[in-house]
Amino acid sequence: MLANTGSTNQVWQTAKTIALDWPWVNRLDDGTLNAITGPERLVLRTPAALRGEDLKTLGEFAVAVGQCVPFVLSHGVSDAEQPIA
């Protein structure tokens, strides 16, 4: 979770690359990123705007003073329901 405890607004950039063999990544209806490779699954939940580019997930977002922006990465098996946050 990113929290801005300073006295000015901050702009953050993020980049995520999944180091798995040929991950299949899609966005679910609720905006969750879902990455599957073989028996493994990673799920990334965040309200931050993210986009796919060159096999990476990128984002740029502002964090106002006193604001928190959660990033929750969960692991599970690919043939089961997505893991709980």
Q: 11-42: per-residue pLDDT in tens? A: 888 777 776 665 688 888 988 989 888 898 99
Domain coordinates of the chain in residue numbers? 2-77
Segment 72-76 long-range contacts (CB within 8 Å, at least 24 positions apart): 72/44, 72/45, 72/46, 73/42, 73/43, 73/44, 74/42, 74/43, 74/44, 74/45, 75/40, 75/41, 75/42, 75/43, 76/41, 76/43
CA atoms of 57 and 52, how far apart (whole Å)? 5
Band of pLDDT at residue 72, cut at 50, 70 and 90: very high
Q: Is 76 helix (H, G, I), strand (E, B) or coil?
A: strand
Please provide the average confidence, as pLDDT, over all residues in the chain.
83
pTM to 2 decimal places: 0.77
Write down the pLDDT at residue 2: 66
More confident residue, 19 or 51: 51
State the pairing for strand pair 40-45/50-53.
unpaired
